[in-house]
Amino acid sequence: MVKVVAGNWKMHHGPDAARRFFSRFRPKVENGSVRLVFFPPDLSLEAAIGSTRVPADFGVQNIHWEAAGARTGETSAEMAREAGATLALIGHSERRHIFGETDAEVDRKVGAAARAGLVPVVCVGELLEERRAGRLEEVLRRQVGAFAGSLAGVAEFMVAYEPVWAIGTGETATPDDAAEAHGIVRDALGTLGRAPVLYGGSVKPGNAAALVSAPDVDGVLVGGASLDPDVFARIAEACGGAGS
Ligand code: 13P
């Protein structure tokens, strides 16, 4: 499977910065050796899509589950699709832990993305306390179990394993930690098919190749290190050379 190299810009890079990013982003990878995906802020989506010069897919960082309505500040899956997104990040740990998004809401968003024809990229991951208490498997099975039903019959989706303690902290799961968690996610997905499972949490040029070489790790979801075009290009290069 071609490795997925996805950048989640979070609340960074307005339209001008998005255009500047793509004027410098030149990964030295063979055409098609990695699948590049970007999740810019909604307001930068059009600028990003219009200025990229490499093959890449674009997604939004969040959606509401309703198609339209009185939901001030929200964006629907249909609107995201109309604006050029083909994927939607759902249930990112910052949505769950800063904005209080629940498993039930994540499930509704997965259903909405699928109905609108967006590829759901659903995030799961345990807190440090949960890991220390030996609850990794229980937490991942609960999170995956909450949305798996909404993925039945969905042609394409991805799951991102992002341990909360590794996000933006400089702490990275070891390739063995990632392989263990990805194995649990894959098992919890059961018969849904061989979807890519991405690792996220302090991915850098120096650790990307080892992470994507671990069993069941099909790519990376990169936060901070995706903001600099040279650094993100080096991550893409590292993953492109890692094979399947
Ligand atoms: P960092 O790469 O900054 O740790 O963020 C990971 C992440 O949350 C990607 O979605």
For the segment 185-219, what is each residue's pLDDT rounded down to a tens digit?
A: 999 999 898 899 999 999 999 999 999 999 999 99
Distance 200 CA to ligand 1 centre (A): 6
More confident residue, 29 or 212: 212
The two structure tokens encoding residue 142: 């609960």
Q: Residue 242: its pLDDT value, please? A: 59
In the CATH hierarchy, which top-level class contains the domain 93-216? alpha beta
Percentage of residues in the chain with pLDDT exceeding 90?
Answer: 91
Query: Residue 91 pLDDT more than 50?
Result: yes
For the segment 134-156, what is each residue's pLDDT rounded down to a tens digit?
A: 999 999 999 999 999 999 999 99
Distance 192 CA to ligand 1 centre (A): 26
Q: Is 162 a catalytic residue?
A: yes
Residue 43 has a CB neighbour count (10 Å cut-off) of 11
CA distances from 36 to 2, 76, 115 (A): 10, 23, 24
84 vs 128: CA distance, rounded Å: 36
For the segment 42-71, what is each residue's pLDDT rounded down to a tens digit?
A: 999 999 999 999 999 999 999 999 999 999
State whether residue 93 is helix, strand or coil.
helix
| DSSP sequence for 9-55 | --S---HHHHHHHHHH------TTSEEEEEE--GGGHHHHHHH--S-
For the segment 101-138, what is each residue's pLDDT rounded down to a tens digit?
A: 999 999 999 999 999 999 999 999 999 999 999 999 99
Q: Is 163 in the pocket of ligand 1 (CB under 6 A)?
A: no
Q: Is 55 in the pocket of ligand 1 (CB under 6 A)?
A: no
Q: Residue 170: its pLDDT value, please? A: 86
Residue 178 has a CB neighbour count (10 Å cut-off) of 27
Query: Residue 14 pLDDT more than 50?
Result: yes
Q: Is 62 in the pocket of ligand 1 (CB under 6 A)?
A: no
Query: Residue 244 pLDDT more than 50?
Result: no
Q: What are the residue ranges of CATH 3.20.20.70 in the chain? A: 93-216
Spot the catalytic one: 162, 180, 182, 237.
Answer: 162
